[in-house]
């Protein structure tokens, strides 16, 4: 066990408020509560999916389908771990073909879990659309490549339609260097 303490991001009131907001956004984006399926990624996403489903039922009057998805065998780091993975069951008792499926998880970090969940979902059927509901979007500074800004090439006209900047002109080859004669 680590000597670091885990930070509390939300208290119970804040969590309830966030889940209510997420439920309203799901209903708004789907254009109503029909054909919505909530699929929680095991283990913590399942509880959140059930709570969001209850909130949508209170808003719309009909409870959406709620299921649980195990992504263990779909992870890209499966072969890198020394211990054998614990495979749990996927509990989706409804068809997902043609439906709006909302994947629910607690934390989004690098997106590898979500990619694995989408692969697992596609093996079960082809939904109309897959949306994502996460409680915490944690920036992954270690996984992100350095930000590269696009620089205008010396051979392209500037995007704003104006004149080339002195810096861009400086790198432009001269006509005689390009082999063009006039």
- The answer to whether position 115 is within a domain reads yes
The region of weakest confidence among 52-61, 76-85, 128-137 is 76-85
d(CA 56, CA 17): 13
- pTM of the prediction? 0.71
Structure confidence by residue, pLDDT tens digits, 114-126: 999 999 999 999 9
Q: Is residue 48 very low, low, confident or very high in pLDDT (cuts 50, 70, 90)?
A: very high
- The answer to whether position 157 is within a domain reads no
The CATH number of whichever domain residue 63 belongs to comes to 3.40.50.2020
- The answer to whether position 159 is within a domain reads no
72's tokens: 């263990």
């Amino acid at each position: 066990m680590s000597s670091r303490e885990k930070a509390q991001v939300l208290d119970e009131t804040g969590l309830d408020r966030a889940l209510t907001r997420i439920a309203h956004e799901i209903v708004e984006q789907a254009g109503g509560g029909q054909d919505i399926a909530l699929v929680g990624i095991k283990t913590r996403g399942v509880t959140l999916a059930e709570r969001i489903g209850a909130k949508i039922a209170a808003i719309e009057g009909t409870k959406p389908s709620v299921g649980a998805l195990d992504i263990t065998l779909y992870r890209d780091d499966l072969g890198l771990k020394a211990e054998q993975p614990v495979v749990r069951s996927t509990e989706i008792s409804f068809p997902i073909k043609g439906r709006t499926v909302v994947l629910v998880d607690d934390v989004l970090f690098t997106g590898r879990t979500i990619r694995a969940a989408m692969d697992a979902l596609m093996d079960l059927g082809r939904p109309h659309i897959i949306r994502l509901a996460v409680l915490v979007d944690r920036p992954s500074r270690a996984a992100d490549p350095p930000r590269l800004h696009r620089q205008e090439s010396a051979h392209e006209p500037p995007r704003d339609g104006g004149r080339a900047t002195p810096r861009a002109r400086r790198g432009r080859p001269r006509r005689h260097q390009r082999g063009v004669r006039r």
